[in-house]
């Protein structure tokens, strides 16, 4: 409901500016036309004789000043609510300016109807009634001031008929503008509901498409190891040579382990994406976490004869986050870096302080990531080089899991190419300096 009211408010605010401009344009056109028309009528002798050429020029000058001031106000404050009163008062002033020197000129009576019509544009029935009452009062005072000697009783009859006409016009305009305002509000609410419904439909379609893609990817990832397990198991059952049985069983164990890792990562990803993971916020030392991580996977990077370099800030800081989840994300980034570093290459783990945050960088030597793959690498089961996926290993979910963990921590994270290879990074809020 608050969003609907906000949308209606914006629409009415924009409408206020537009209608203020429209009021000004209509007044300008009317005044521009009525002066030469009245002058011509005066020249031809078709007017009531109450308005002289001098009066026309005087009215034109005063009206020009009124329109100039109104233009300045509209250009600077056209969206504000109070400008509607200024616009309507300007119309009233123009009406009075024309009526003072020509109180008996019937050709100027149409100006009152201009007030009523312009008030309609404001979508406010009260404004129409106020404008009608104001003009009726002004016209009545002018009639009293410039009263003429006319047959008894005719003045009351003329004024009664005229003001009844004014009143009926005002009431009709009031009812119409109130209905227009209600229609605008209902149409705005309906449009908002339709937009939200369309968003829900689009989300459902995206979820359905993502679900199908996810199931297809899972099926593809499980198909190969299951086929290997089945083939090697059948070979063992059929009685292969004893020296091959050990190799076959090792392959079966490795593939089962890979499938177990895949299922575990799928469960982790599901919990992260559905908001089931509740972070245990606490302060921890990122340097200790890095040391523990590098030592834990030492056999993995020593097997490839990699040179792992650790660079820190030199100061001991604690960062704010869920240490277990951050370690999970760092494991995925570190293993990914090890897998993509060529044998004998270098791998850099670096901590940098930047304002109120600590940035952690993991950079590995190797081939660059293409621009088209920069964002895709965070997608589930996406591999930059599908033909070499078995060489690099992994489940294809590590970076996706890391991305979800970073999002939960509101981290600034990403990937970029460097002169040596590829660098992943993420940030954590700095808590305090450890003395």
The domains of the chain, with CATH numbers, are 2-197 (no CATH), 205-273 (1.10.287.130), 282-433 (3.30.565.10)
Q: How far is CA 341 from the centre of its chain?
A: 41
Q: Which residue has the tokens 């300096």?
A: 433
Instruction: Give the bridge partners for 417, in sequence order.
Output: 422
- Which residues in the chain land under pLDDT 70? 1-53, 56, 92, 95, 98-186, 207, 210-211, 213-214, 217-218, 220-221, 224, 258, 265, 381-395, 432-435
Whole-number Å distance between alpha carbons of 353 and 158: 87
Q: Could you tell me the pTM of the whole model?
A: 0.47
Pairing of strands 317-321, 414-417: unpaired
Q: Any idea what the Cα angle at residue 213 is, between residues 207 and 217, rounded to 5°? A: 140
Q: Which residue has the tokens 């994406």?
A: 273
Whole-angstrom CA distances from 228 to 240, 339, 383 are 15, 22, 21
Whole-angstrom CA distances from 241 to 202, 228, 238, 245, 247 are 58, 18, 10, 6, 11
Convert 33-60 into a string of H (helix), E (strand) and C (coil): HHHHHHHHHHHHCCCCCCCCHHHHHHHH
Tokens, residue 19? 């209608």
236 neighbors 249 (Cβ within 8 angstroms): yes
From the list 317, 272, 269, 264, the residue with the least C-alpha distance to 290 is 317
In tens, the pLDDT along 139-165 reads 555 555 444 444 444 444 455 445 545
Query: What DSSP character marks residue 369?
Result: P
In tens, the pLDDT along 247-257 reads 778 777 877 87
From the list 232, 226, 231, the residue with the least C-alpha distance to 262 is 226
pLDDT at residue 235 in the model: 80
Pairing of strands 346-354, 282-284: unpaired
Write phi, then psi, for 416 (nearest 5 degrees).
-150, 155
Residue 344 Ramachandran class (φ > 0 left, ψ -120 to 50 alpha, else beta): left
Write phi, then psi, for 200 (nearest 5 degrees).
-65, -40
């Amino acid at each position: 409901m608050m969003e609907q009211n906000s949308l209606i408010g914006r629409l009415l605010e924009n409408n206020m500016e537009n209608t203020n401009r429209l009021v000004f344009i209509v007044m300008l056109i009317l005044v521009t036309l009525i002066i030469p028309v009245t002058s011509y009528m005066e020249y031809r002798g078709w007017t009531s004789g109450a308005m002289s050429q001098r009066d026309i020029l005087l009215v034109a000058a005063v009206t020009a000043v009124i329109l100039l001031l109104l233009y300045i106000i509209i250009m600077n404050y056209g969206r504000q609510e109070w400008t509607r009163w200024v616009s309507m008062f300007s119309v009233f002033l123009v009406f009075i300016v024309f009526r003072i020197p020509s109180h008996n000129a019937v050709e100027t009576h149409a100006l009152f109807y201009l007030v009523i019509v312009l008030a309609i544009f404001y979508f406010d029935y009260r404004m129409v009634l106020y404008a009608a009452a104001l003009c009726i009062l002004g016209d009545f005072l002018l009639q009293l001031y410039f009263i003429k000697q006319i047959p008894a009783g005719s003045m009351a009859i003329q004024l009664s008929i005229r003001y009844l006409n004014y009143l009926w016009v005002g009431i009709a305009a009031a009812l119409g503008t109130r209905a227009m305002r209600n229609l605008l509000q209902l149409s705005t609410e309906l449009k908002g509901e339709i937009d939200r419904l369309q968003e829900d439909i689009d989300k459902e379609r995206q979820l359905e498409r993502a679900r199908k893609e996810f199931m297809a990817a899972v099926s593809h990832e499980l198909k190969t190891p299951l086929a290997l397990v089945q083939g090697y198991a059948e070979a063992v059952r059929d009685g292969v040579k004893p020296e091959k049985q050990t190799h076959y069983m090792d392959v079966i164990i490795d593939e089962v382990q890979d499938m177990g890792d895949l299922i575990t990562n799928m469960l982790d990803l599901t919990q992260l994406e559905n908001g089931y993971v509740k972070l245990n916020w606490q302060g921890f030392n990122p340097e200790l976490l890095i040391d523990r991580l590098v030592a834990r996977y030492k056999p993995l990077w020593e097997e490839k004869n990699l040179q792992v370099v650790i660079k820190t800030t030199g100061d001991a800081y604690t960062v704010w986050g869920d240490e277990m989840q951050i370690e999970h994300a760092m494991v995925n980034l570190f293993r990914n870096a090890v897998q993509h570093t060529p044998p004998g290459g270098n791998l850099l783990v670096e901590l940098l302080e930047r304002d109120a945050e600590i940035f952690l960088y993991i950079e590995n030597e190797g081939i660059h990531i293409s621009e088209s793959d920069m964002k895709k690498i965070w997608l589930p089961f996406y591999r930059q080089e599908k033909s070499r996926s078995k060489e690099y290993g992994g489940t294809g979910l590590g970076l996706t899991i890391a991305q979800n963990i970073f999002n939960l921590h509101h981290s600034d994270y990403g990937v970029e190419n460097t002169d040596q290879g590829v660098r992943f990074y993420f940030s954590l809020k700095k808590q305090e300096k450890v003395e």
